[in-house]
Amino acid sequence: MRSIQESLITRLKVPTRKGNKVIARRCNKCGNIRNPPRTYCNICQGTEFTEVIFGPKGEITTYSSSYKRKATDIQRFFGNVRLFADNGEDSIGVGGIFNVKSIDELEIGQKVELLPEEKYNIFKLVEE
């Protein structure tokens, strides 16, 4: 039974982060980028992939703040980032937290960099 289950698992046990970069996979058949990786492409059902590296540079596409129920709660500032590949052509959308103290520091279009923390996506602002 265990081997049957193992044969149905589609989550690839491969690293998806390396330092301050995201490792995604591009379908060799249709070009769809899959992140996190799976054994199949959800567009064409293809099963062959090539690694594509994104980051650390990106751009904020939107942001908001977490709910602060009590004054002592830590407020987080989160949002979505368009993370760029080295080839300058590809990008993927990822969510994460911004390393700032106030929402007023954030702006859509702001350049950011992914930090090497690998459990979460944490971004710092980049001076232009």
Partner 1 sequence: MRNVAVVGAGMSPFGRLDALLYQEIGRPAVNDAIESAGIDRKLIESCYYGTCGGVGVGHEIMNECGMIGIPITRVVNACSSGSNAFRLAFMDIASGMSDCVMAMGIEKMKDVTMAVVGGGTRYQIEAKAFTHGSPTSGGGGGGGGGGMAAGFALMGRAHMKIYGTKVEDFANITVKSRRNGSKNPKAEFQNIMTLQEVLDDVMINDPLTRSQCCPRTDGAAAVILMSEDYVKKHHIESPVWVKGSAMGSNFGGENELRWYKETGSPYPPGFLTDYLVAQKVYKMAKVKPQDFYDRGFVECHDCFSVSEYVHYEDFGFCKKGEASPLINDGVFEIDGDLPINPSGGLLSVGHPLGATGARQVAEIFWQMTKHKEVAKRQVPDKHLDLGLQHTLGSPGIGFTNVMHVFSRDL
Binding region for partner 1 (CB under 8 A): 32-33, 42-43, 61-68, 76, 78-80, 82, 92-97, 103, 107-109, 119-122
Task: Tell me how far, at minimum, the Cβ of 69 lies from partner 1, in Å.
Answer: 9
How many Cβ atoms are within 10 Å of 102's Cβ, its own excluded? 9
Which of 78, 84 has the CB closer to partner 1? 78
Nearest CA to 57 among 24, 26, 25, 86? 86
Least distance (Å) from partner 1 to the CB of residue 83?
Answer: 10
Measure the CA angle with vertex 50, ends 111 and 2; round to 5°: 110
Nearer residue to partner 1 within complex by CB, 3 or 102:
102
Closest distance of CB 65 from partner 1, Å: 4
Nearest-5° Cα angle at 61, 58 to 64: 115
- For residue 31, the tally of other CB atoms under 10 A from its CB is 13
Considering the complex, state which of residue 2 and residue 69 has its C-beta at the smaller distance from partner 1. Answer: 69
> What is the Cα–Cα distance from 65 to 67, expressed in whole angstroms?
7
Residue type, 14: V
From the CB of 3, what's the least distance to partner 1, in Å? 22
Nearer to partner 1, 97 or 125 (CB): 97
